[in-house]
Amino acid sequence: MDESTPNDDTDLSERYAKIFRYSNDAIMVVDFGTESFVDVNPAACELLGYDRETLLSLDPSVIHPDDMDRVRESFIADVQQTGSGWTDNLTCITKDGREIPTEVSGATLESEAASSEQTRMIAILRDVSERVRRQRELERQVKRLDRFARTVSHDLRNPLTTLHGQLELARETGKKQHFNKIETTIREIDAILDNVLTLARAESVDKNNLSPVDLETVGTKAWEQVQTANATLRTDAAVNLVADGDQLRELFDNLFRNAVDHGPVDVTVTLWATDDGFVVSDDGPGVPPTEQDQVFEWGYTTIDSGTGFGLAIVADIVAAHGWDIDVSDSEAGGAAFEITGVTFV
């Protein structure tokens, strides 16, 4: 009998213990029968925000409530049947309510005997938040390129066709009306290009360079830049919020133009602060319920002179700041755009 075997076993156990304790990945030992945590390493506690004792007392469904059935039916079942398993789509909920996307690999702890003898498994969780962030950013970039391609191939093609046609007529007849149409079409092209550039800037807000801005001041200045005719702005928004001031002004600019373009000449627009954001509402015709899910889509418009970019720009600015936006009916019967998730100073 080899006398070194006991020492080798001890050394191996110590090595495994060190790997378990000092691994950068979260490691959890799970009992198949009770679906409870038997042991967890420090990285698991750090990832999920619990101390060890609390984490051991938790039901796994607390950590991934939306994925528990799927985990039980696929991942855990695979580990029990084949001895190992893997999934790259498990969302964990931390103690403070944050969602962390993870990938998980697992294996049974006992010897590879009959599956009925397997009582425990080891699950290794890896935080893939950065990977998911890069994937989403790539998807946004692809979507942005698709928008630009659509603008060039469709939105710009129509006015350019009109421009060429009017230019030929102007050369042949010399009539002023054709030159006027050319001028109008050039302004339309300029507006489309401006909107495309605005959208590009709206999607690239640097959250590290946000600063406190006065909501009412930014809104009032934006109103002064809009051709409002007999329209009126009312405000109750004397608060400071964390935002990109230029992008916030662009947001108001487009919301105000939307109200003025779609409402009566004497439309009244109201801006007021809420507990977690602000609202821009009007007493115009409002947005029909069947269209409220479409108004933020690129190119969607209900008026002949509209480009369909204004509210899409608003939605992108809101998303770039990490806020949310919803459209509903205002108390005056018009439209109400509510932005939430704002950080106030």
Q: What string of DSSP letters covers 192-228?
A: HHHHHHHHHHHTT--GGG-EEEEHHHHHHHHHHTS--
Q: Which CATH class is domain 208-345?
A: alpha beta
Strands 240-243 and 232-236: unpaired
What's the pLDDT score for residue 304?
A: 52
The confidence score (pLDDT) of residue 114 equals: 44
Residue 300 has a CB neighbour count (10 Å cut-off) of 15
Q: What is the Cα–Cα distance from 293 to 306, expressed in whole angstroms?
A: 18
Intra-chain end-to-end CA distance of the chain, in Å: 74
Other Cβ atoms less than 10 A from the Cβ of 199: the count is 22
Distance CA 93, CA 125 (A): 13
**What is the domain partition of the chain in residue ranges?**
5-127, 130-204, 208-345
- 184 by DSSP, 3-state: which? helix
Over the chain, what is the mean pLDDT?
85
Q: What is the pLDDT of residue 139?
A: 83
Which portions of the chain are predicted below pLDDT 70?
Answer: 1-10, 111-117, 144, 147-155, 195-206, 208, 298-308
pLDDT attached to residue 4: 47
DSSP 294: T
CA 332 to chain centre: 31
Residue 180: predicted pLDDT = 87
- Cα–Cα separations (whole angstroms), residue 315 to 103, 212, 259: 31, 21, 16
Structural fold of domain 5-127: Beta-Lactamase (3.30.450)
Which long-range contacts link 252-257 to residues 24+ away (Cβ below 8 Å)?
252/218, 252/219, 252/222, 252/223, 252/280, 253/222, 253/225, 253/226, 254/310, 254/311, 254/313, 254/314, 255/280, 255/310, 255/311, 255/314, 255/337, 256/222, 256/223, 256/226, 256/228, 256/280, 257/226, 257/310
Q: 113 is written with which tokens?
A: 């005997």
Given this model, what pLDDT does residue 111 score? Answer: 56
Please tell me the CATH code under which domain 130-204 is placed: 1.10.287.130
The DSSP element (H or E) to which 37 belongs, if any, is strand 36-40
| 134 CB-side CA count, 13 A | 3
**Placement of tokens 């893997």 in the chain:** 86
pLDDT the model gives residue 48: 95
